[in-house]
Amino acid sequence: MSAVLRVSALGKRYGELDALRDVSFEARAGELIAVVGPNGAGKTTLLSIVVGIQRPSAGTVERGGAGKVEHGGADEVSPVAGPGRRPRVAGRAGWRVGWAPQSPALYSKLSVAENLELFARLEGVADPRAAVARMLEQTGLGERAREPVGRLSGGNRQRVNVALGLIGEPPVLALDEPSASLDPGQRERLWQFLATRVAGGTTVIFSTHNVTEAQRYATRVLVLAQGRLLFDGPPQTLLASSPEQEQGDERDSGDLERALVRFLAEREPGPT
């Protein structure tokens, strides 16, 4: 299966600070990729460049050229972003990466349905009302459709936030710490919802501090530290790199966290 997203030698500098250095990876359709790492590792910077909010200082972000993808992978990749330039579109092949930032990006005075319809129209969705109805059904927000977003709970706001990221049916959805403000029940519902999207072929990339979530739901883990990509592989591989795992259950929720801490202690690059 070919890549739906290809990130090559990505770098980002803020003055003297290297927020990202030579980060490269590929994402295929239907993957659920967790980006983990300590604070300041560059997780949010990586995602914001992938979705096009920030420009990279070096490297490129290329996306599969199949446009709207619901089930299955993209056929080829086309360059969309490079150093010092805005992401550009390669003919009809261009599509946008869905985006759900950590702080919900919603109009609090508008209702759930009005928020969804506005962004469906701005994204040029062919039938905005049908897309809104579909998204309300998929997120279970139908009963709250007319309620102003400002009155929703944090969990429901996050669901609307994710729904906005998906309203244009993008092949790739990026989420920045999507479960940070959710209680366990809301978190569970969110991952169930995302799992159905992944099963449908959508690629999901999310950043998180919660290694348990990464271990439980992700098919791949990217470990970032000081802007460098230190690990790219399945959680099991990371877990296996820890000596303790030889004796225990490799899917034990606590162990990946311990494995990550050990891994970072051994591999984290020193200050340059």
Partner 1 sequence: MRWLLRKDLLILGRSRLLLALLIVYPVAITLLIGLAISRSPSRPRVAIVDETPPGETVKVGDQRVLVSAYARELFDQVQAVDVSSRAQAVAKVESGSVLAAVVIPPDIAARIASDTEAAQLEVLYNGDALEQSLVASTINSALAQANLAFSAQIQQAAGSVIGSLLSGGNLGSIGAPENLIGLTQIAPTLGSVIARQPRGHDRTQLERIDTFAGFAAQNLSLAGRVLSIIGQPIRVDSVLLHGRRTPLNTFAVVVAVDLSLMLVCVLLAAGGVALEREEHTLARLIGAPPTPSGAGGALISRETLLAEKTLLAAGCAFVLAFAMLAGIGAFVTLDWGRVGQWLAALALGAVAFAALGVAIGALARDVRAASLLAFLLSLPLAFLALVPAGSVSGGFYDAIGAISFVFPFKAALQALDAAVNGASPAIGLPLVHLAVLSAVFGALARVGLRSVE
Which residues of the chain form contacts with partner 1 (CB under 8 A)? 48, 51-54, 63, 67-68, 80-81, 86-89, 91-92, 94-97, 99, 101, 103-110, 114, 118-119, 121-124, 148, 164, 168
Q: Which is nearer to partner 1, 206 or 263 (CB)?
A: 206
Q: Which is nearer to partner 1, 83 or 212 (CB)?
A: 83
Q: Which is nearer to partner 1, 97 or 221 (CB)?
A: 97
Q: What is the DSSP code (8-state) at residue 148?
A: B
Phi, psi at residue 100, to the nearest 5°?
Answer: -130, 95
CB of 124 to partner 1, least distance (A): 5
CB of 5 to partner 1, least distance (A): 11
Calpha distance 120→131 (Å, rounded): 7
Q: Which is nearer to partner 1, 94 or 200 (CB)?
A: 94
CA terminus-to-terminus distance, the chain = 37
CB of 92 to partner 1, least distance (A): 6
Calpha distance 84→54 (Å, rounded): 10
Secondary structure class of 34 (helix, strand, coil) = strand
Bridge partner list, 34: 206, 221
Q: Which is nearer to partner 1, 151 or 267 (CB)?
A: 151
Q: Which is nearer to partner 1, 77 or 260 (CB)?
A: 77
Instruction: Characterize the bridge pairing of strands 3-14 and 58-64.
Output: antiparallel
Contact 163, 115 (CB under 8 A): no
Please name the helix (run of DSSP H) or strand (run of DSSP E) that holds residue 161, with its range, or none. Answer: helix 154-166
Calpha distance 196→118 (Å, rounded): 25
CB of 170 to partner 1, least distance (A): 9
CB of 41 to partner 1, least distance (A): 17
Calpha distance 177→235 (Å, rounded): 18
Q: Which is nearer to partner 1, 83 or 241 (CB)?
A: 83
CB of 267 to partner 1, least distance (A): 29
Secondary structure class of 175 (helix, strand, coil) = strand
Question: Following DSSP, what letter does each residue of 73-99 receive, concatenated?
Answer: --S-EEEEE-TTS-----GGG--PPEE
Bridge partner list, 32: 204
CB of 86 to partner 1, least distance (A): 4
